[in-house]
Chain A
């Protein structure tokens, strides 16, 4: 029930955090459309996999059943889109999420090429200083200590074969 956990946590901490604005009908309609499209696409592939029969189920039997459920759920979400009030609008702070994801993807791609040390250091400094507005005189030493600790723990102590520069 982690999500419930976090939602409750977020809710309880309302005093300490910005309250997210609620999203409107269009957002729920799009959510339903995405779910429907996913179900329809999966059903198309399942049909291609061979449905078999009830007495001799094949590779596509179960995916077809599940895809149909997904498709129906998506359609119902679209139909009832005006009745939902649980979606949150992505605020202007959403750029932080986009930046964080781009940073993570970049780090994941760079690690095999240049090792984990430099990408990890840059990610930590960028995350702390650019996204969280911590001062460089704090983020740089924290990043250095963190990367050094990870090096000692994962490379030296646990012998994890992480790509590394040093």
Chain B
């Protein structure tokens, strides 16, 4: 491998302007990510308009910084408030919050920062080595391969996402339909514009993301909020002891490896990997501290895994042009706004951006580690600000940000419409992530689907002559069929779990995947893991619930 472009990428990162934006991104990401309810996707969506006037390289470097800064910000609220900014942090809350209750919140946050740094850095090293290889492989891709890969990506996100799979499919289909609004790229005909001039160029991604992720969340919290703030924990003694470090080597190593590979998969990689890491650490735990009562390994493993997964989820985005999750979909939109089309050619056509962004992650992770520990006190103070004051200010920022897209009120109205839609989707169990991802990928999918049909002259059977596309379609079929087959198995054999192994009967024996923490892994009913499962935090858990219910069990 020729490392010259990699080294030149470091030169890009250390240009004063780019370094400054990397620093700014991490700090802003951490600060906004600390605000309860605002996860990485919402944070990036809200701050996207700030990048309009910027060059591509610093803006993407800043957004990447916001991304992992926001992920860490979520950890802070998870530990101190038991209010995670994102699902993967919910797993951290399982052990981090009990630690905070014991007065060891600072240690939990310190370990979280160190573990995140290691997980992120290891993932970036591997990313540096394998991203060009994947990009080279992807150069073989034609329209059928892209169409199949895009379909598979949307399907996997819909399959793994939160809530009912059927509702997730409906959301994804709605996203694909929204992507068709505007002028048809092939024939020039107007579609679904209802005579509106503003819709001639189609709906824009940013106001949709701001509405569905940002405003919807604020509206959702507005309805649920109760007067009175949360009890805050102290966060002192941040650094772990030598004894702690000895305990953490295993969880961090396992979490890093697991997170990297699971993060490559489309759909919730960070969450699934954090859950898997927690499950593994709990099974392996032989120490005196019980899980659920503040085991530091339960913070280190998931934090390493979710950061490794978050970093490796850049690989499908940058090398294939396929965002693996909603946050990457927002990044995808940001790249398109900058006139950069992510994909296999990016390594060769825009090496400054490609290696600049990847290498900025080394620097950004280091900044995160250096800043996270001294800033813990500031985060705690930020958390004192009531959301009743923050929410309307954030809403106003969203509105002004939407206006700056095209300097017109139309985008503000789009944000409001999609904010209401996102709120209703959340209320009625429709995960908005598949909608946003499908919207982003919709044009790519339609273009490649139609090009494929033209290539094959309408004979879809000709796809069998293209091994990569065929493999992807077989995978697609497997993903669709496996849950159906499992449901049939559950209906006939209620005593079998997901993998077909017999499970002991009992009210707590909800089937769960081997990787994800099972019911016996999650502490009591008031814990995040338990809530996550009953809320359908993962597809495995959700499917498990349906299976249980289908068998006459308790339907959640």
Contacts and interface: CB of A to CB of B under 8 A. Distances in A.
B432 A101 contact: no
A86 B96 CA distance: 28
A107 to B, nearest CB: 7
Interface string A66-87: 1101100110110010011111
Contacts of A39: 173
B192 A87 contact: no
A7 B187 contact: no
17 contacts: A2-B217, A3-B425, A4-B268, A8-B86, A13-B81, A23-B427, A28-B429, A54-B458, A86-B163, A86-B536, A88-B428, A100-B219, A101-B416, A116-B400, A146-B396, A150-B396, A161-B407
A12 B83 CA distance: 6
Interface in A34-91: 35, 38-39, 42, 45, 49-50, 53-63, 66-67, 69-70, 73-74, 76-77, 80, 83-88, 90-91
Given A2-B42, A84-B164, A86-B163, A9 B85 contact: yes
Contacts of A76: 166
Interface of A: 1-18, 20, 23, 27-28, 31, 35, 38-39, 42, 45, 49-50, 53-63, 66-67, 69-70, 73-74, 76-77, 80, 83-88, 90-91, 93-94, 96-97, 100-101, 104-105, 107-109, 111-112, 116, 120, 123-124, 127-128, 131-134, 138-139, 142, 146, 150, 154, 158, 160-162
A158 to B, nearest CB: 8
Contacts of B449: 57, 62
Given A55-B458, A73-B173, A108-B416, A5 B84 contact: yes
Given A53-B458, A146-B393, A67 B42 contact: no
Contact of A86 (B167, B220, B404): B167
A66 to B, nearest CB: 5
Interface stretch (B221-229, B351-359, B477-485, B502-510): B221-229
Contact of B393 (A16, A53, A124, A138): A124
Given A5-B86, A54-B459, A69-B173, 16 more contacts: A2-B40, A2-B433, A5-B74, A9-B77, A9-B90, A10-B224, A15-B82, A17-B224, A49-B189, A62-B450, A86-B167, A86-B429, A100-B222, A107-B399, A108-B409, A133-B227
B57 to A, nearest CB: 20
A87 B429 contact: yes
Contacts of B327: 1-2
B180 interface: yes
Contact of A5 (B39, B163, B446, B549): B39
A9 B89 CA distance: 9
Nearest to B157: A1
Interface string B272-299: 0000000000000000000000000000
A103 to B, nearest CB: 9
B177 A90 contact: no
Say whether chain B's binding surface is mostly helix, strand, loop, or mixed.
helix
Nearest to B330: A2
A27 B428 CA distance: 8
Nearest to A138: B389
A111 B403 CA distance: 10
The 7 closest A-B pairs by CB, nearest first: A55-B458, A86-B429, A11-B531, A132-B388, A54-B458, A127-B392, A4-B162
Nearest to A73: B170
Contacts of B78: 12
Nearest to A160: B404
Nearest to A41: B192
A4 B166 contact: no
A127 B395 contact: yes
Interface in B162-189: 162-164, 166-167, 169-170, 173-174, 176-177, 180, 184, 186-187, 189
B90 A12 contact: yes
Interface of B: 36-37, 39-42, 53, 74, 77-78, 81-87, 90, 93, 161-164, 166-167, 169-170, 173-174, 176-177, 180, 184, 186-187, 189, 191-192, 213, 217, 219-228, 230, 267-268, 270-271, 325-327, 386, 388-389, 391-393, 395-397, 399-400, 403-404, 407, 409, 412-413, 416, 419-420, 423, 425-433, 446, 449-450, 453-454, 457-460, 526, 528, 531-532, 534-537, 546, 549, 555-556
A23 B392 CA distance: 28
Say whether chain A's binding surface is mostly helix, strand, loop, or mixed.
helix
A50 B532 CA distance: 45
A6 B428 contact: no
Given A53-B458, A57-B453, A12 B528 contact: yes
Contact of B400 (A94, A127, A131, A160): A160
A136 to B, nearest CB: 13
Given A59-B184, A90-B223, A123-B392, A16 B412 contact: no
B223 A124 contact: no
B161 A1 contact: yes
Given A8-B84, A87-B427, A100-B219, A42 B192 contact: yes
A61 B170 contact: no
A114 B117 CA distance: 49
B177 A4 contact: no
B226 to A, nearest CB: 5
B432 A87 contact: no
Contact of B85 (A5, A38, A94): A5
A1 B460 CA distance: 33
Contacts of B453: 54-55, 57
Contacts of B457: 55
Contacts of A127: 391-392, 395
A104 B399 contact: yes
Contacts of A146: 393, 396
A1 B41 CA distance: 8
